[in-house]
Structure 1
């Protein structure tokens, strides 16, 4: 698998590095040299004229990388100032420290030393990297708050991650959960081999700035972990340092051919059913139905109550309409085995959704439960026992809290006493995985850092912090319809959900600020063409 198309937890990253060094074919010092060289190269790309740089080197291997960066930039003509400690605990970092001492001094790693020096064009944060699990303390905590001053942002480069950022959760250790005021925010972060969850979750995208993933030669050992890597990135919010184009995620490349045959007909491409609500509530369901059509379902039928049929007479004419008043109507309709995907919830009404849910779940058909269907499910928890692996739940944070209140509470825990945090924070990734395992269904936890999880632990992250204009009425209804259309085409639930999320984000990127939910389905043909799919 190419560099950057999967996400490694910190434990998996350590295991990859350990396997590489245990092979005898690469040393820790060699990996450190490659990492430092990669960061120095990225700095020189953005600041082509040598200037002043201050490199802050911490007590571990991240600090060792910093000494390599300092040496490399010195060799390129930069005026380098290094702040560090009296020694480095590991032999590789200590060797890099001694190499720098043959060139120049190491000043104390203190806030006063940082303040006393001349202004620098670039500050390199090589204090703490991927493995940090507790809040920084003492002098280093003071330094980090000083680096959080906005005047540093345009020239702050982080090695692995801004110091203090938990790479498994995206929480800033020592800061209240969900905030990062006065935390160091980088213009550029250079990480190695693969992104980590914390680069894409919570505060990670805000604090990392531009994220670059540099290849330091670990691919063979990363891929040797095989099934141990169960987390994918749907839209990499990072650049690949060797200059290759961003890969279309594997879930997309493998997904869109499903159900498309040269000699097929509309039923071989699936039949999606979108259940609408009563009079005056049909807009959300029509958005979902239009999206299911654009997702490639061969047929899409919109099913409002008989009293609301007239308001669904307008285009698109490709939509079929059929009245559905109660559970008996749904059960009768599902005797048609060609119906291969359903969407229940957008504009449906909570009471109507609660009436229809038992028949829908009893059918075991692939389905999306969104909006009012999720509220009905939370209101009638006994229905949760009928969920199955072909169900996709699409909650936003509020709906997630109603469905899984104890998990949501854990997600918010630690906010009142961040300094007491020990170990990685419980993350949105953890929350989605736990919820999916409990429900026995796919959970799509919506947000700018959308997480999709399956009951078996497989998961994907879609980072959409670059899409604030996607937070608009009806966008979630479009996403639900995309999932339903892809389910109808026969894609497995996890793959359909990942592909729908990717298409949804790409359509929003193409449209840009000012989009409305009505625009999203119409942008999909161009997204598919542009992606070569």
Structure 2
């Protein structure tokens, strides 16, 4: 798998292990990195009249010295600008010594329209804001709108969090090595990276396996092995039974969107659980989706006994309050005494907000459920506002990245957290996390989150583990929206999923 993401610390460890394993030393890895970047520059910008290479004092700058030398040897007109001297005896110092170009101080940096800039000032390990000469260089390059090729990450973007520290270069292409970093995918850093080219410099999969990363770029490689594909002798209940709680008579549409999405994602049977006063409204709009009156916890218990549902969605259009809390707590306690397992509960929208004044009640119930073999796994799908209602201290901690916030919330809540947004993060209580990168602005439409909740519930109903079901749901939801494009509304999404699902099933069974 090449979808692992490495933190800056993990990347440093990968370098160390590769050097220890040999046969290439640290300078050898640096030369390979420089060769990869120079090849991209020559291939993508053959008509560049001049290339300016900006080098810092560390290993990122060392890569830049290699690039400058190789481009000059290829006949390119290169200007080399440096900020600080490499540490004596370091790999960067060796690269600087091998580079014959005149070193000009970054403080005097100037450029001209039509030139290309290769930025190698600071890499993924940057921990303080760009300032002084580096910030001035950002302003010059930005004002002239020059194309930028960034080495590892655009200088100014933090590799751990994607935060912009002070200011940052906006790259057309970013060349990184071995594996991407979280900062390549998390906003706002992702917007500064442009096209990301992942170069192989000889750090093999075996070395990455020794590090055992727990962060991934979300995509089929992460969960396709467990993707549900029905056998020839299956029947509808073997494909899982998903259930969605409906709101009152004026708020039923969100639940129906979730229910249809659960059905489209492959659940063999789907039931809308409706209050009595909304039964007629729901019945008028449902065909293949079943309908059941559930007004109280006792009604829910009877449904569990009669129909043995596999998964639930609670929240879309449901209303905020005690009734929502009662249903959630009853489901999380449903493992005891049940002769069939409930695979999962997806808590969204009003279901999340209903616990804003007593989040620990929810977290403790989920923790107890985690120890019961037949109790449902809890998946929560908050957007930023809902996340802050349940985890206000985590949300307000400016030292934490979105990735770190999602991880902290998952551990506290004993739940899989889908922290939604353009850079959705999915985190599990065991520390695994995935960052989604295929989202599109067309998904920012009313009802989109209701559809996502239903997709995840559909996969849970079919037996996918909670983390994998959430990751698959997020990716498919985004992929369908991206392919549909402008004009997308939530009602389009269940049908827009079909070509994506077809391709995935063919890949899983091929």
SS at match of 1:377: coil
SS at match of 2:28: helix
Check if 1:373 corresponds to 2:351.
yes
Check if 1:358 corresponds to 2:329.
yes
Q: RMSD of the TM alignment (CA)? A: 1.8
Indicate conservation of the 8 Å contact 1:255/1:499, yes or no. no
Tell me the equivalent position of 1:105: 102
- Measured after TM superposition, the shift of residue 255 of structure 1 is 2.7
Indicate conservation of the 8 Å contact 1:232/1:460, yes or no. yes
**Per-residue Cα deviation, 1:192-233 (whole angstroms, up to 9, x for no partner):** 11111111112111111111111111124433325x311111
Q: Structure 2: which 5+ runs fail to align?
A: 336-341, 371-376
SS at match of 1:334: helix
> What are the residue-to-residue correspondences of 1:21-420 with 2, within 5 Å?
21-85=19-83, 87-89=85-87, 90-101=89-100, 104-110=101-107, 113-115=108-110, 117-147=111-141, 149-152=142-145, 154-174=146-166, 183-225=168-210, 228-235=212-219, 248-251=220-223, 253-257=224-228, 260-314=230-284, 317-336=287-306, 338-351=308-321, 352-364=323-335, 365=342, 366-381=344-359, 382-387=361-366, 388-389=369-370, 390-410=377-397, 413=398
In 2, Cα distance between equivalents of 1:316 and 1:212: 47
In 2, Cα distance between equivalents of 1:85 and 1:326: 69
Going from structure 1 to structure 2, the CA distance change for 1:222 and 1:344 (only over 3 Å counts) comes to same
- Measured after TM superposition, the shift of residue 502 of structure 1 is 0.9
Tell me the equivalent position of 2:485: 512
Tell me the equivalent position of 1:420: none
Aligned length: 488
- Measured after TM superposition, the shift of residue 119 of structure 1 is 4.1
Check if 1:469 corresponds to 2:442.
yes
- Measured after TM superposition, the shift of residue 135 of structure 1 is 2.0
In 2, Cα distance between equivalents of 1:477 and 1:31: 48
**Per-residue Cα deviation, 1:298-349 (whole angstroms, up to 9, x for no partner):** 1000111111111123455221111111111111111247311011010111
Going from structure 1 to structure 2, the CA distance change for 1:314 and 1:249 (only over 3 Å counts) comes to farther
- Measured after TM superposition, the shift of residue 426 of structure 1 is 1.3
Indicate conservation of the 8 Å contact 1:377/1:384, yes or no. no
Tell me the equivalent position of 1:526: 499
Indicate conservation of the 8 Å contact 2:150/2:171, yes or no. yes
- Measured after TM superposition, the shift of residue 150 of structure 1 is 4.3
Indicate conservation of the 8 Å contact 2:324/2:351, yes or no. yes
In 1, Cα distance between equivalents of 2:156 and 2:274: 52
- Measured after TM superposition, the shift of residue 513 of structure 1 is 1.6
In 2, Cα distance between equivalents of 1:309 and 1:302: 10
Q: Structure 1: which 5+ runs fail to align?
A: 175-181, 236-247, 414-424
In 1, Cα distance between equivalents of 2:250 and 2:62: 64
Tell me the equivalent position of 2:374: none
Tell me the equivalent position of 1:417: none
Indicate conservation of the 8 Å contact 1:192/1:216, yes or no. yes
**Per-residue Cα deviation, 1:26-60 (whole angstroms, up to 9, x for no partner):** 21111111111111111222212352100001101
Tell me the equivalent position of 1:501: 474
In 1, Cα distance between equivalents of 2:260 and 2:16: 50
